[in-house]
Amino acid sequence: MRREFLKGTVMKIAFTSDLHVNSSSENHDIIPAIRKKLDDNPPDVFIIAGDISSNLTDIETTLGMFRDLPAVKFFVPGNHDIWVEDEYTSDIKYFDNLPKICREAGFHPLWLQPYTIGDTGFCGTMGWYDLSLRSTLVNFTDADYAKKRFFLFTWMDKVRMRFYRDSRVLDDAELTELLLERFIADCEDVSPKTNRIISVFHHLPFRNPIVYNGKPQWDYFAAFFGSARFGEYILSNPKISRVICGHYHRRKSLDIAPGLVLHLSPFGYYEREGDRPFSRWISKRLSYINI
């Protein structure tokens, strides 16, 4: 049974992102390990901030593992989750397939509708990128970034992302604008009814967590990490006290401004990025905060 949240009650939030369950056997094994940890240390709220898999069946199976977890559960999609698959375009996955899968698994589709618990609002979005987080240490043109390719490496949104509106594929700036408008509307709706807002993103709304190193092979791709326009809005809304996001595969908690903290707790790709042993990875990359 869920606790009633009254003013002053501490809320325990567990969160993670970037499970990439089909990328290795260890990534696949994350899900029962997370479930066990949540059973051992039950949260009031459980959040997955995107990038489970590009395959809808994987997402259905993953979210279904938490169906009977007695917590309020939120999901926002990441770019991988909306990659084109069979006949499904990115917009169909975003607006139709994924909300249905979420609801069937007992997750609230936070990117479509905000949620309120007591005096706390939750607003979410996948977010997107518009080059505003590009590195200032390297010199690439807009045309370079439009290729989404550096040397042998392709940013796969280039080939697997097709987000249609009115029978036309949106470019990155248009998609950023669409999702920003929706996010602002959600926050403005929730703000008068709550004392604080927890915001959930997949892509980054601030450049603060990104380590730029001036190496073109790394800094080129930083342009696709997120959009500062979301951050500008967050800073203008004093009710937003936390930002939980994914996409950038580093675990961090950072003070962005007085009263505003950003959290990243991604799994990422075990073979390249996972902590050893596996048990350490699980305990580090599923994080908890009390608010």
Judged by beta carbon, residue 210 or residue 257, the one nearer Fe ion is 210
Judged by beta carbon, residue 30 or residue 72, the one nearer Fe ion is 30
Judged by beta carbon, residue 190 or residue 248, the one nearer Fe ion is 248
Binding site for Fe ion (CB under 5 A): 51, 78-79, 247
CB 128 within 8 A of CB 227: yes
Q: Residue 197 phi/psi, 5° resolution?
A: -125, 130
CB 36 within 8 A of CB 8: no
Q: Closest distance between Fe ion and the C-beta of residue 79, in Å?
A: 5
CB 205 within 8 A of CB 247: no
Judged by beta carbon, residue 203 or residue 239, the one nearer Fe ion is 203
Q: Closest distance between Fe ion and the C-beta of residue 191, in Å?
A: 28
Judged by beta carbon, residue 109 or residue 246, the one nearer Fe ion is 246
CB 43 within 8 A of CB 3: no
Q: Closest distance between Fe ion and the C-beta of residue 155, in Å?
A: 10
Q: Closest distance between Fe ion and the C-beta of residue 75, in Å?
A: 14
Judged by beta carbon, residue 138 or residue 204, the one nearer Fe ion is 204
As a whole number of angstroms, the distance between CA 242 and CA 120 comes to: 11
Q: Closest distance between Fe ion and the C-beta of residue 202, in Å?
A: 6
Judged by beta carbon, residue 160 or residue 196, the one nearer Fe ion is 160
Judged by beta carbon, residue 49 or residue 72, the one nearer Fe ion is 49
As a whole number of angstroms, the distance between CA 78 and CA 59 comes to: 11
As a whole number of angstroms, the distance between CA 141 and CA 247 comes to: 23
Q: Closest distance between Fe ion and the C-beta of residue 268, in Å?
A: 10
Q: Closest distance between Fe ion and the C-beta of residue 266, in Å?
A: 9
What kind and span of H or E run contains 217? helix 216-222
Q: Closest distance between Fe ion and the C-beta of residue 117, in Å?
A: 27
